[in-house]
Amino acid sequence: MARKTFIAGNWKMYTGSAEAVKLAEAIDAGMMRTDVRVAVFPPFPWLTVVAEALGQSDIAVGGQDCHAEKEGAFTGSVSPTMLLAADCTYVILGHSERRHGLHETDALLNEKLKSALAAGLQVIFCIGELLAEREANRTEAVLDTQLSAGLAGLTAERMNNVTIAYEPVWAIGTGKVATTEQAQAAHAFVRAKIGKLFGEIAAAAVLIQYGGSVKPDNAAALLAQPDIDGALVGGASLKADQFLAIIAAAPR
């Protein structure tokens, strides 16, 4: 079964309001591929203005995180239903900047994931190993744990709304990209693990994005790998021409 390429732009804590709108409009205006799924993830305060600027465009909008609870005394947090009300289709969960920077655990991410899916969001669920873990030949063990614990309690049906982003932590924002062989091997491992957890149909259908210094000059080779179904792009998603070039690199 052919899987549709999915390119996502994580704007992190960058852009001002007007800049975010301009960036979204420029991406929309330059989009030449109706066969590629595209989503952008602006900072929370710009979600509604970006969604409004994109209007009826096929480009979806998502939040960069959410809380597991629907509401409550959780200062600074945003719930899945709030993201939906801000016209979000997606949420990113488990980004390494939250796993390692903010110490989010597999158990917490599993709660967030179940809650976001139950609310009706689609989730990009990030996993990936640290450099020390790769050097100690622990990449597969780390991915195995992050998937077993992170996806615990989900059904194969719920997995229809989950995209996995494999993001080796040492490649995020560093300019060091995984080789196509390293990335493909990790993606094949992830797909096989999804098969063990949810069955072969779910494994064949699940989209697995690569993330970590994806740029216009390395996107085509990565996206040509059999188990790489898209990219989660940080830095290069802040420049419309670079993000569009990555979208254009998707195999036809």
Binding to ligand PEP (CB under 6 A) within 178-237 occurs at 211-214, 232-236
Cβ contact 110:151 at 8 Å = yes
Cβ contact 129:168 at 8 Å = yes
Show the site string, 138-167: x = touches ligand PEP by CB under 6 A, - = not.
-----------------------------x
Binding status of residue 247 toward ligand PEP by CB under 6 A: no
Binding status of residue 9 toward ligand PEP by CB under 6 A: no
Known catalytic residue at 25: no
Cβ contact 120:88 at 8 Å = no
Q: Which CB sits closer to ligand PEP, 30 or 216?
A: 216
Binding status of residue 173 toward ligand PEP by CB under 6 A: yes
Q: Which CB sits closer to ligand PEP, 115 or 213?
A: 213
Active-site position among 67, 95, 104, 129: 95
Binding status of residue 10 toward ligand PEP by CB under 6 A: yes
Known catalytic residue at 67: no
Nearest to 94 by CA among 18, 2, 165: 165
Binding status of residue 5 toward ligand PEP by CB under 6 A: no
Q: Which CB sits closer to ligand PEP, 115 or 209?
A: 209
Which residues form the catalytic set? 95, 167
| Residues within the interface to ligand PEP (CB under 6 A) | 10, 167, 172-173, 211-214, 232-236
